[in-house]
Amino acid sequence: MTQIIFLPHAEHCPEGAVVEATPGETIMDAALRNGIEIEHACEMSCACTTCHVIVREGFDSMDESDDLEDDMLDKAWGLEPDSRLSCQAVVKDVDLIVEIPKYTINQVSERQ
C-alpha cells in the first residue's frame, strides 16, 4: 500500500490525514474512501477544477497529465507546477504528500 499524507486544510481535514492508497487508484478515490470530502462538481469526469490538489512530494512518480487535464488545470485557482486534478492523478507505489488548496474556482466565484 502507498501512503498519502494530506496536509491540514481548514475544511476538509483540519488535522491533516495519512491514508492508505492502493496503487492504481486516484488520489480522489483514496481521499473519499477515507472521509476527506474533496469537492468534485463534475463527478470525476475531468470537466472542472474543483478537485485540484498540489502534490508536494511524489509528483514525479505519477504518470504525466494528459491534454484534457492540462486544459482543465489552466483554469484552476492557485495553479502550481505540481498541480493535478485528484480525480485523474493515479497513485503508484511511491508515498505522496498532497495539499488541498484553500479555494476552488467555484468558491472564488461564489465570493465575488
Entry pTM: 0.91
What's the CATH number where 62 sits?
Answer: 3.10.20.30
Residue 46 · residue 85 · CB < 8 Å: yes
Please give the Cα distance from 103 to 49 (Å, whole number).
Answer: 11
Between β-strands 52-57 and 17-21, what pairing exists: parallel, antiparallel or unpaired?
A: unpaired
What total number of domains does the chain contain?
1
How many whole angstroms from its chain centre is CA 48? 12
Cell representation of residue 89: 492523478
Query: pLDDT digit string (tens) for 62-104?
Result: 999 999 999 999 999 899 999 999 999 999 999 999 999 988 7
Q: Which residues constitute the domain of residue 23?
A: 2-111
Query: pLDDT digit string (tens) for 12-60?
Result: 999 999 999 999 999 999 999 999 999 999 999 999 999 999 999 999 9
